[in-house]
């Protein structure tokens, strides 16, 4: 997650940088009699916030990261002394969920020292853990690892997750369920209080409904993986059905192992949009795949904007614009501050925003992410500035976070 320009701390070609900063200016100065919202290259976006909140709250533990379980053995990354990674995680919030799974889960084993070091890391960041367990290793070994993890992690352990993407490994749901139950019986024999998450499917989001009904007594969380390829329309539809399933069995759910094939600005803005869409629809969290290098690139910067809406109630938004790639979300914190996230995923057309807060604004300010294109991995962070909500520009390939 590298390639971030904070102000002018990283050099880019001067003319391009000045152009990007000019486009991101919070104050719009229009001459030649051009009305605001009609300037070339910009489409008007009228936003009206409801005076009241919807009641749905973005949970305090919404923030999440997913790591490969194979990074735990050896304790190179997850230990109490890895200050860089600890600060990286804590930068995303004082609470959240770390999920460990991934492609090599079934061939990963944890030694007692690995688990002890992981416990130190979890304590340092104060995030709870969903710990993946192998579905192919000998059952006795897995049960022993689970017992040691329960003892070492204590309340930092949210759940065990058996296997990763089982729909890609097992021929059908029934075969997976039989294997899952055999593992649960062994793990729970050593640790009767053990609780589980799943099914962690990669493609078949419909398994979640069957799994929730079949295994409800020992489940504390429903999970679904998500690979963003740009062509995942079927998976997206399946994910949108999960809130109904979760509500029927009264279980929280998270989308985990969210991964894309690039770390450019386009992916970062998509992640920002996807996170807030999930939260608004009732998801309890989103875990983005991370390689534990603690590099604060475009995706990390986008997640920092997501963090600003955590533990706040959503506010209904009415948006009118011709730009189909422009979205807006709003929440209200317990102190009455409203936080509006504006995302422009269009490569060419900016948004000339007229934002009505639904009540008199309080010292409105804006923080921005800007870039020269959607394809670049270079993102610019423009820190908090005063702003007029009625004349707020959101250039192409950018996002703005407004507090008022």
Residues 6+ apart with CB under 8 A from 143: 186, 187, 189, 190, 191
48 shares its domain with 79: no
Among 299, 305, 298, 255, CA closest to 99: 255
Identify the pLDDT of residue 255.
Answer: 98
Residue 365: Cβ within 10 Å count: 16
Domain with 200 in it: what CATH number?
A: 3.20.20.80
272 shares its domain with 158: yes
335 shares its domain with 398: yes
Over the chain (404 residues), what is each successive 10-residue block's mean pLDDT? 49 42 44 60 96 91 98 98 98 98 97 98 98 96 97 98 97 97 95 97 96 97 96 90 94 97 94 97 97 96 98 97 97 97 97 95 96 96 97 97 98
Identify the pLDDT of residue 185.
Answer: 97
189 shares its domain with 335: no
67 shares its domain with 136: yes
- Name the packing angle between helices 139-153 and 112-125 (round to 10°): 40
Tell me which of 311, 346, 378 is where a domain ends: 311
Identify the pLDDT of residue 29.
Answer: 43
Identify the pLDDT of residue 315.
Answer: 97
Distance CA 353, CA 388 (A): 10
200 shares its domain with 344: no
296 shares its domain with 398: no
Tell me which of 255, 278, 311 is where a domain ends: 311
The domain in which residue 334 lies consists of 4-55+314-403
Tell me which of 291, 311, 331 is where a domain ends: 311
Domain with 21 in it: what CATH number?
A: 2.60.40.1180
24 shares its domain with 93: no
Distance CA 353, CA 355 (A): 6
307 shares its domain with 399: no
213 shares its domain with 177: yes
Identify the pLDDT of residue 54.
Answer: 81
Identify the pLDDT of residue 3.
Answer: 58
Identify the pLDDT of residue 55.
Answer: 74
């Amino acid at each position: 997650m590298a390639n971030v320009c904070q102000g002018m701390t990283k050099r880019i070609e001067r003319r391009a940088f000045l152009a990007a900063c000019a486009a991101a200016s919070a104050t719009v100065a229009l001459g030649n009699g051009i009305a605001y919202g009609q300037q070339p290259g910009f489409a008007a976006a009228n936003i009206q916030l409801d005076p009241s909140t919807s009641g749905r709250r973005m949970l305090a533990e919404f923030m999440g990261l997913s790591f490969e379980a194979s990074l735990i053995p050896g304790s190179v990354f997850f230990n109490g002394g890895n200050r860089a990674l600890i600060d990286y995680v804590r930068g995303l919030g004082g609470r959240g969920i770390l999920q460990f799974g991934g492609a090599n889960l079934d061939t990963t084993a944890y030694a007692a020292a690995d688990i002890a070091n992981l416990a130190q890391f979890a304590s340092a960041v104060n995030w709870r853990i969903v710990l993946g367990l192998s579905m192919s290793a000998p059952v006795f070994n897995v049960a022993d690892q689970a017992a040691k993890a329960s003892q070492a992690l204590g309340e930092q352990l949210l759940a065990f997750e058996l296997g990763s993407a089982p729909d890609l490994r097992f021929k059908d749901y029934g075969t997976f369920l039989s294997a899952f139950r055999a593992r649960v019986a062994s793990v729970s024999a050593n640790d009767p209080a053990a609780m589980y998450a799943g099914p962690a499917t990669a493609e078949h989001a419909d398994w979640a409904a069957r799994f929730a009904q079949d295994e409800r007594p020992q489940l504390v969380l429903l999970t679904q993986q998500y690979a963003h390829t740009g062509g995942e329309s079927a998976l997206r539809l399946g994910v949108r059905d999960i809130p109904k399933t979760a509500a029927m069995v009264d279980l929280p759910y998270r989308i985990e192992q969210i991964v894309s094939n690039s770390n450019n600005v386009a992916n970062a803005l998509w992640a920002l949009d996807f996170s807030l869409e999930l939260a608004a629809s009732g998801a309890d969290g989103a875990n983005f795949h991370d390689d534990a290098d603690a590099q604060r690139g475009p995706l990390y910067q986008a997640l920092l904007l997501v963090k600003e809406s955590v533990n706040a109630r959503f506010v209904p938004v009415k948006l009118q614009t011709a730009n189909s790639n422009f979205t807006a979300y709003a929440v209200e914190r317990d102190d009455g501050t409203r936080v509006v996230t504006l995302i422009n995923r269009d490569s060419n057309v900016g948004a000339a925003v007229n934002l009505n807060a639904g009540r008199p604004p309080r010292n409105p300010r804006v923080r921005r992410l800007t870039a020269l294109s959607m394809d670049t991995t270079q993102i610019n962070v423009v820190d908090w500035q005063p702003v007029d909500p009625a004349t707020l520009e959101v250039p192409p390939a950018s996002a703005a976070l407004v507090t008022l």
